[in-house]
Amino acid sequence: MTRILAIGEAMVELTHQGPTALSLSYAGDTANTAVYLQRLLGSTGSVDYATAVGDDPYSEGLVERLAEEGLGTRLVWRRIGRRLGLYLVRTDDTGERHFVYYRAGSAATGLFGPGHDPGADAAIASYDLVYLSLITLQILTPVARARLWDVLDNVRAHGGRVVFDGNYRPTGWPNARQARIAAEAALRRTDVALPTWSDEQALFGEHSPDDCIDRLRALGVAEGVVKNGPAPCVAFTATDAYHVAPTLVARVVDTTAAGDAFNAAFLAARLQGASLVEAARAGHRLAGSVIQHPGAIVPTALLPPAVPATRHIDSGPSYPRTIHG
């Protein structure tokens, strides 16, 4: 069984159901991916979530929700006197979402900071796959990020793989330069990169997904996908690249978590033996399903069928645990 750890912040999600009505749920980019990944892997994989929560009722509600989805919570730390972060999301007529965040000082912003359990570092190194995003890095202090770099280095030294989604949200950073420094530091420790082209263009000023792939390869990334909304994504290895068209969708309701869902389905398919292209198609299928329904996490019954395992010339390296050095 493949053991996977996602690291980040899950928050209270308040979604507008009208001018004054709101519905409450829990979400966050890495948490969304973790939920979908566990659903897709079933008994073939075990997904844990690493975050920090407070001592408020909503924090307890989040932990219960993660457990209900089958996620392991042994690396969820409770911070006395802290609270869970919160965000509101409103969708326009095209299904595009707009966010307002209330996360300053949330429990998760203390991850890898003072009071961090040193025993957790060794625990994290035992996972086969560790997943994080630029939003994970955004909430951390510079000192905490430096500690996380050591943790990721240790993961890879023990044969694990690191997966990184360059999920860039400008409002969460003092400036773009700091975001670029953090992203590049993470990518130097990344085996599988799953960025979105619009984010990469905004952060790095590149002219095409090909430019983005060249940069990722230069940083040592072995494979990945540059997602591109309704346009074809580009799946790549160190030597090859493949344009994969998305699933056609009749009506977009809510684009929340489209990229998170894509990442989950891509990783699940690769872990189950699918080729790079088939895994990208699986990502498109799940993302296409998710955006036809409101909210970040859609009911399990609405998930598309799992992709059959295939092996092709474009399959690239599989994800076994291999000892480096």
Answer yes or no: are the C-beta atoms of 239 and 277 closer than 8 Å.
Answer: no
Q: Is the pLDDT of residue 61 over 60?
A: yes
CA angle at residue 40 from 120 to 194, to 5 degrees?
A: 65
Alpha-carbon gap, residue 316 to 277, rounded angstroms: 10
pLDDT at residue 1 in the model: 92
Q: pLDDT tens digits for 219-248?
A: 999 999 999 999 999 999 999 999 999 988
CATH at residue 244: 3.40.1190.20
In a domain, 314, yes or no: no
Question: What residues have CB less than 8 Å from 263, skipping those under 6 apart?
Answer: 33, 131, 163, 165, 194, 283
pLDDT in tens, 75-102: 999 999 999 999 988 878 777 778 888 9
Q: Is residue 309 part of a domain?
A: no
The pLDDT of residue 306: 60
Q: Retrieve residue 281's tokens.
A: 């198609």
Please state the domain count of the chain: 1
Q: Is 242 helix (H, G, I), strand (E, B) or coil?
A: strand
Catalytic residue among 48, 191, 254, 260: 260
Q: Report the C-alpha gap between 310 and 291 in whole angstroms.
A: 27
Cα dist. 101→105, 172, 177 in Å?
12, 9, 22
What is the secondary structure of 130-198 as a DSSP string?
EEEEHHHHHTS-HHHHHHHHHHHHHHHHTT-EEEEE----GGGSS-HHHHHHHHHHHHTT-SEE--BHH
CA distance 75 to 121: 10
Determine the structural domain holding residue 57 and report its residue range. Answer: 2-302
Q: Evaluate whether residue 112 is within a structural domain.
A: yes
The answer to whether residue 260 is catalytic is: yes
Residue 21 resides in a domain: yes
Q: How far apart are CA 60 and CA 58, in angstroms?
A: 5
Q: For 13, what's the count of Cα atoms within 13 Å in the CB-facing half-sphere?
A: 24
Domain contains 313: no
pLDDT at position 94 is 77
> Would you say residue 279 lies in a domain?
yes
Report the chain's mean pLDDT, rounded to a whole number.
91
46: pLDDT strictly greater than 70: yes
Averaged pLDDT for residues 35-62: 97
pTM: 0.92
- Range name among 48-52, 104-108, 173-177, 299-303 with the lowest pLDDT average: 299-303
Q: At residue 79, what are phi and psi to the nearest 5 degrees?
A: -115, 115
Helix axes 176-187, 197-204, angle to 10 degrees: 120
Evaluate if residue 319 carries a pLDDT over 80. no
Q: Which of 62, 90, 33, 17 is nearest to 290 (CA)?
A: 33
The beta strand positions in the chain, using DSSP E, are: 2-7, 11-16, 22-27, 45-53, 76-78, 86-91, 97-102, 129-133, 161-165, 192-193, 223-226, 233-237, 241-244
Residue 317: inside a domain: no
Least confident of 123-132, 289-298, 306-315: 306-315
176 CB burial (10 A radius; 0-12, 13-18, 19+): middle
HSE toward the beta carbon, residue 253, CA cutoff 13 A:
13
Task: Please report whether residue 311 resides in a domain.
Answer: no
154-199: per-residue pLDDT in tens? 999 999 999 999 999 998 899 999 999 999 999 999 999 999 999 9
In this model, does residue 321 exceed pLDDT 50? no
Which of 48-57, 248-257, 286-295 has the weakest average pLDDT? Answer: 248-257
